[in-house]
């Protein structure tokens, strides 16, 4: 069976180009993740790894869609090998059913990881330059909800739980505690 794996970094990104490639390659089953590739904890990737059987071929558009670092790439390929499945990356023309393909996979995986590190480094440098120019100030701080103080007082008195306070204010747990700490209210509850 030919199994396609597609990944884009965010839910807003389009998978159509990769899906068309999979259709052209005649894949029987497609797994799609819309999340970062920084680690292997992707739901559809894990389902695909579980689904793969002996003799299957996993096809990806490029190595960077499958794994972002060499360690993860090699671990994923090892899992496929244990199940006696092969791996094909169309862009890099890698096929792990050949010794050359296995070697090239490791080389391209290392290159993809290096490329990502360069990209992150350039991004960090760009942000630092923008900060110096006064163009980058980060995210705007959240404004306190209108009823923040009254909800906090109820929480401090033990009239409501932190969970209820968070839900009532419509903010995340981390935002709640950060705002409480910032306004110097309820610090004794946090500690």
Residues with a catalytic annotation lie at 9
Sequence length of the chain is: 191
Report helix, strand or coil for 112. helix
* Alpha-carbon span 101 to 63, nearest angstrom: 13
* Burial grade of 16 (CB within 10 A; 0-12, 13-18, 19 or more): exposed
Contact between 171 and 152 (Cβ < 8 Å): no
Q: Which two tokens stand for residue 144?
A: 């306190």
Residues 6+ away with beta carbon under 8 Å from 68: 36, 37, 38, 112, 113, 116
Alpha-carbon torsion angle 171, 176, 179, 185, nearest 10: 140
């Amino acid at each position: 069976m030919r199994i396609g794996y597609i990944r884009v970094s965010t839910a807003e990104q389009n998978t159509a180009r990769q899906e068309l490639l999979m259709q052209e390659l005649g894949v029987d089953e497609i797994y799609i993740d819309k999340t970062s590739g920084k680690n292997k904890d992707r739901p559809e990737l894990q389902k695909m790894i579980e689904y793969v059987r002996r003799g299957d071929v996993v096809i990806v558009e490029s190595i960077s869609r499958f794994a972002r670092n060499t360690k993860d790439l090699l671990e994923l390929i090892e899992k496929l090998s244990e199940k006696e499945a092969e791996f094909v990356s169309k862009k890099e023309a890698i096929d792990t059913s050949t010794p050359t393909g296995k070697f090239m996979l490791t080389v391209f995986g290392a290159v993809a990881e290096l490329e990502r590190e360069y990209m992150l480094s350039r991004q960090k440098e760009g942000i630092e330059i923008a900060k110096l120019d006064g163009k980058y100030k980060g995210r705007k701080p959240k404004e306190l909800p209108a009823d923040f103080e009254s909800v906090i007082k109820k929480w401090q008195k033990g009239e409501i739980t932190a969970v209820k306070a968070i839900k009532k204010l419509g903010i995340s747990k981390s935002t709640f505690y950060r705002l409480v700490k910032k306004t110097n209210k309820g610090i004794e509850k946090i500690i």
